[in-house]
């Protein structure tokens, strides 16, 4: 069923989409490199602990890192081969992280149990959750929060609706669009499993209007899932953020400091739903994901199915890395992380590799109190006041200015005529507030 009533979240912008560079490029299996470096921290929470040693023979899909706590996930071998090293290497997060370096033997020999057919309709909720936990699945829209934790709301939290996030509102990125067009049945099967685990009879799939083919594909695939409504949403960034998507589809507002489950909702990305189907129906762990490689810094943008641990350099070069490409961003231009090293690997949370030419240099000006950042802020805070407070070092004001409510979408920085790096200053404020809260608890 298609929803006809359309709501809007507060604030937001509509930056140039730039999706035409890769939107018509079908998903393509990227060649598996001879050596892969698999980080043991690819998710929010505690890093995984290595359970293999240097020189060990390993199989594709085998656990090489076990969860380091409740909020953590397992890490699996993306290929069969041998462990070349376990060592700290540079990471997407800007700090050294332990990696399991695997020499690929080219045999693609699966570990026991991987690929075995299962019937999720015959599996109880606990068995489905265990399959997801064992597969090391995380949120694949970028947040990389462990999925089995997200699907296990604590006692007292009643969930009455699930939302499938097919918005993909970041400029340039198109891998979710292609996934919805090419694998809608797998996504629908995963969403059915999500609804079963949560025990909900109402589901919604949100897709922006700039993805008409994906909308039609998902509408047809979800027609067989009872209680699901496919919602066509106006194009507006950051509609893919959980709180904003909940407001747009259900009209519910997540309270300050709260989570979606506080208003009875759980949101999952379409890529996550597809991975859930693979885990619960075939016992396949998360060792591969869809990635968009795009930007004016490459000659042949595209969408690829990439093994975790593949160096981003190999993807950039395969897409025709141009000499003038000076900026590398993992993710989209609004919320992605700038990188200085092309040799870091693709992780479970890598939705895109954006390569751009040289950027302009701007002088940072004083806040002119134009109110643009306030109007655009989807979190309804005062970014201008926060930026001035950080600039002046007025740390006692950070918490009272609701720094922790910032979702770091980058709208404030995007619209600022004074070219102020507002979101970066707010990150500093958030770090200070978090440290002070931890200190007071300790």
pTM exceeds cut of 0.85: yes
Listed in order, strand segments (DSSP E) in 279-371 are: 288-294, 302-307, 327-330, 337-339, 352-356
Residue 73 and residue 43 in contact, taking contact as beta carbons nearer than 8 Å:
yes
Number of helices and strands (H, E) in the chain?
Answer: 12, 18
Q: What is the DSSP letter of 79?
A: S
Residue 3 has a pLDDT of 45
Q: Phi first, then psi: what are they for 227, rounded to 5°?
A: 80, 10
Output the pLDDT for position 7. Answer: 67
Q: Strands, DSSP E only, in 40-80?
A: 49-50, 57-58, 63-66, 75-76
Segment (H or E) for 211: none
Structure tokens, 270 = 């379409």
Q: Look at the block and give the residue holding tokens 């890395």.
A: 321
Q: Is 15 exposed, middle or buried (0-12, 13-18, 19+ CB in 10 A)?
A: middle
SS3 406: coil
Strand partners for 57: 82
Largest CA distance in the chain: 63
For the chain, how big is the Rg over CA atoms in Å?
A: 21
| The pLDDT of residue 359 | 79
The C-alpha torsion from 282 through 28 and 181 to 167, rounded to 10°, is 90
Q: According to the model, what pLDDT value does residue 93 have? A: 81
Tens place of pLDDT per residue across the chain (442 aa): 444 445 689 999 999 999 999 999 999 999 999 999 999 999 989 999 999 999 999 999 999 999 999 899 999 999 999 999 999 999 988 889 999 999 999 999 999 999 889 999 999 999 999 999 999 999 998 779 999 999 999 998 999 999 999 999 999 999 999 999 999 999 999 999 999 999 999 999 999 999 999 999 999 999 999 999 999 999 999 999 999 999 999 999 999 889 999 999 999 999 999 999 999 999 999 999 999 999 999 999 999 999 999 999 999 999 999 998 989 999 999 999 999 889 999 999 999 999 999 878 889 999 999 999 999 999 999 999 999 999 999 999 999 999 999 999 999 999 999 999 999 999 999 999 999 998 888 7
Collect all residues with Cβ–Cβ distance below 8 Å to 373 and sequence separation of at least 6: 383, 384, 387, 411, 412, 415, 416, 422
Q: How far, rounded to the nearest angstrom, does the alpha carbon of residue 351 sit from its chain's CA centroid?
A: 6
Task: Output the CATH code of domain 2-23+125-282.
Answer: 3.40.50.11540
User: Tokens 């922006």, residue?
Assistant: 208
Dig out the tokens for 392 from the structure: 């002046």
Give the span between the Cα atoms of 304 and 315, in whole angstroms.
Answer: 9
pLDDT of residue 4: 42
Domain with CATH 3.40.50.11540 in the chain: 2-23+125-282
């Amino acid at each position: 069923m298609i929803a006809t009533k359309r709501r809007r979240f507060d604030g937001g912008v509509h930056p140039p989409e730039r999706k035409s560079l890769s939107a018509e490029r079908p998903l393509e299996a990227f060649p598996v490199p001879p050596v892969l470096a698999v980080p043991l921290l690819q998710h929010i929470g505690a890093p995984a602990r290595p359970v293999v040693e240097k020189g060990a023979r390993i199989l594709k899909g085998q656990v090489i890192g076990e969860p380091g706590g409740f909020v953590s996930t397992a890490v699996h071998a993306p290929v069969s081969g041998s462990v070349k090293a376990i060592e700290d290497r540079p990471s997407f997060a800007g700090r050294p992280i332990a990696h399991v370096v695997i020499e690929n033997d080219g045999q693609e020999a699966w570990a026991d149990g991987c690929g075995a057919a299962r019937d999720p309709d015959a599996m109880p909720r606990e068995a489905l959750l265990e399959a997801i936990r064992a597969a090391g699945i995380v949120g694949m829209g970028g947040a990389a929060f462990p999925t089995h934790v997200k699907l296990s709301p604590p006692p007292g939290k009643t969930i009455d609706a699930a939302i499938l996030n097919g918005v993909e509102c970041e400029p340039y990125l198109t891998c979710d669009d292609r996934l919805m067009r090419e694998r809608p049945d797998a996504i629908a099967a995963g969403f059915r499993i999500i609804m079963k685990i949560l025990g909900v009879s109402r589901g919604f799939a949100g897709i922006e209007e700039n993805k008409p083919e994906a909308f039609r594909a998902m509408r047809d695939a979800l027609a067989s899932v009872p209680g699901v409504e496919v919602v066509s949403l106006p194009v507006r960034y950051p509609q893919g953020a959980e709180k904003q998507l909940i407001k747009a589809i259900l009209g519910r507002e997540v309270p300050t400091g709260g989570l979606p489950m506080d208003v009875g909702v759980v949101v999952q990305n379409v890529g996550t739903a597809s991975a859930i189907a693979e885990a619960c129906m075939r016992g396949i762990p998360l060792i591969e994901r869809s990635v968009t490689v795009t930007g004016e810094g490459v000659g042949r943008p595209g969408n690829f199915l990439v093994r975790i641990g593949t160096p981003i350099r190999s993807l950039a070069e395969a897409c025709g890395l141009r000499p003038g490409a000076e900026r590398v961003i993992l993710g989209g231009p609004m919320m992605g992380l700038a990188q200085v090293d092309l040799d870091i690997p693709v992780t479970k949370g890598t939705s895109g590799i954006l390569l751009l030419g040289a950027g302009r240099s701007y002088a940072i000006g004083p806040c002119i109190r134009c109110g643009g950042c306030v109007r655009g802020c989807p979190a309804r805070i005062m970014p201008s006041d926060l930026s001035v407070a950080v600039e002046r070092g007025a740390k006692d004001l950070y918490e009272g200015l609701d720094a922790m409510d910032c979702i770091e979408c980058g709208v404030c920085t995007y619209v600022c005529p004074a070219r102020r790096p507002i979101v970066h200053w707010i990150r500093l404020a958030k770090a200070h507030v978090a440290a002070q809260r931890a200190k007071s608890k300790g």
